[in-house]
Structure 1
Amino acid sequence: MTVWLSYREAAHRVHRSRRTIGRWRKNGMPMSWDTRDGQRVRVVDEAVLLAWWRQRLRNDPAHRYRLRALRARETGAHGPTRRDSDTT
């Protein structure tokens, strides 16, 4: 079953602003129109929204660093730390 979310609902779902959702639409995220309470509203399929969100996270360097550190902690290995680069 397809779940359609408005800008506000989509922003709340992925913890981003409505402005970010609008920017993703301008960058090519497929959206549609729906009529709610007599008003036409832009809506996005939840699966499409989550796919875009995951793609953005994968490409974010800070997020990749956090994931690497988490994986290192889980395996018991010492992951990269900021202090490692500070020592001379």
Structure 2
Amino acid sequence: MAEWLTYREAATRTHRSIRSINRWRRGGMPMEWQKRDGQRVRVVRLDILLAWWRERLNSDPAHQYRLRKMRNQHDTQHAE
């Protein structure tokens, strides 16, 4: 069973703002409408959200720099 998240829940899960989630939706992330507490809200499946987020991180140069730095520190510690 797929887990569905609202904008706010998705933003909390990915440590991003609601504006970022909205920007991702406009960029093509598939989202749907659900009725919750009598109101229609836009929701995204958790697996889709995490795949979208991972793709954004992998294409972010700053994130790649941080990963390389962490790997280098790890390699240096194990080489000693």
| TM-score, with structure 1 as normaliser | 0.84
Structure possessing the higher radius of gyration over alpha carbons: 1
Higher relative contact order (CA 8 A, sep 6+): 2
Q: How big is the alpha-carbon RMSD for the aligned residues of Structure 1 and Structure 2? A: 1.0
The secondary structure found in structure 2 opposite 1:29 is coil
- Flag structure 2 segments of 5+ consecutive residues without an equivalent: none
| TM-score, with structure 2 as normaliser | 0.92
CA distance in 2, matches of 1:29, 1:44: 8
- Flag structure 1 segments of 5+ consecutive residues without an equivalent: 78-88
CA distance in 2, matches of 1:27, 1:73: 35
User: Is 1:27 matched up with 2:34?
Assistant: no
Q: Work out the number of aligned pairs and report it.
A: 77
**Within 5 Å, which residues of 2 pair with 1:27-46?**
27-46=27-46
Identity %: 62
Instruction: Please list every run of at least 4 consecutive aligned residues from structure 1 whose deviation after the TM superposition is greater than 6 angstroms.
Output: none
